[in-house]
Amino acid sequence: MDQIMEEDFRVIDNCLIIRLPEEVDHHQAGYISENADKHLLRKEVRHVVFDFENTRFMDSSGIGIIMGRYRKISCFGGRVYAIHADSQIQRIFKVSGLHKIVEIM
Amino acid sequence: MRNEMEILFDAISDNEGFARVAVAAFVSHLNPTLEELSDIKTAVSEAVTNSIIHGYENLYGYGRPGRGPAAAQEVHPGKVQILCALEGDMLQIQIKDQGKGMENVEQAMEPLFTTKPELERSGMGFAFMEAFMDDLEVESSPGQGTTVRMKKKLGCGSWIEV
């Protein structure tokens, strides 16, 4: 199973882009959240983009990651986006109600 | 046709992936749809994660690669048991731990309720199990561990439209 690495976090303009691993579960969640928060401390970062291109599995731990980041940036007018989410991931969004706060593109 | 399997593994987060893939592989000869497989994997992952971080309070591991000793050395690992039974196209899964159990099962099952907000648990675990499986039963009492029983009929296709 692949692990998420430092280079999966990139800042482009005012967006933090996080390329998520193949499986987003509790086992990986802590590292993703911790690293994301390190980048969020940089002043220029306003929005967060979760890239699901490589992701084939996500459980409620992924919802926790996204909700946590949303809480941190929404009060400063930041937005959370999800890109390349396949139909399974979109079902998870729908069941959890997350599609109301995340822009799925 | 009837078919059963049982697995027993240490309650460490490294095993979450193994557990859900093992259950998915067990039903694979029934030719389930991708959606059904994904539903089963999500539900198993939720229940196993609950056993590990709530039942045994094994917070070590928590997805930090290459730091500190291996999770198994750090904590007293309990065991999680998964029992699967297939009868025709009906899949039954039982996920059992001997962890600390819960006093209030009903409250634990409420969406968004979590006792570990500091870990950014979303509180959606039981809600996901309920949404993705056809039937969910939770049996637990303090000090007695927790048993989750889930059922799903395979070969039904999708019921949540995206």
In a domain, B159, yes or no: no
Report the distance separating Cα A10 and Cα A26, nearest Å: 22
CA B99 remoteness from chain centre: 14
In a domain, B117, yes or no: yes
Q: Is B104 a catalytic residue?
A: no
Q: How confident is the model at residue A58 (pLDDT cuts 50, 70, 90)?
A: very high
Residue B124 sits in a domain whose CATH number is: 3.30.565.10
In a domain, B160, yes or no: no
User: Domain of A82?
Assistant: 6-104
Return the pLDDT at B158: 52
Cα torsion through B9, A52, A9, B59, rounded to 10: -20
Helix extents (H) in A1-105? 26-40, 60-74, 87-96
Residue A10 sits in a domain whose CATH number is: 3.30.750.24
Total count of domains within chain A: 1
Return the pLDDT at B60: 60
If you average pLDDT over every residue of chain A, what do you get? 91
DSSP state of B154: S
In a domain, A55, yes or no: yes
Residue B136 main-chain phi, psi, to 5 deg: -140, 130
In a domain, A1, yes or no: no
Residues B63-122 have pLDDT tens digits of 444 444 444 445 667 999 999 999 988 999 999 999 999 999 999 999 989 998 888 888
Q: Is the dihedral of CA A7, A8, A12, A16 positive or negative?
A: negative
Count of pairs with CB atoms under 8 A, one residue in A, one in B: 95
Return the pLDDT at B66: 44
Return the pLDDT at B161: 53
Is the Cβ pair B132, A57 closer than 8 Å? Answer: no
Total count of domains within chain B: 1
Q: How confident is the model at residue B140 (pLDDT cuts 50, 70, 90)?
A: very high
In a domain, A43, yes or no: yes
Is B122's Cβ below 8 Å from some Cβ in A?
yes
- Scored b (16 or more CB within 10 A) or e, B9-43 reads bbbbbbbbbebbbbbbebbeeeebeebbbbbbbbb
DSSP state of B40: H
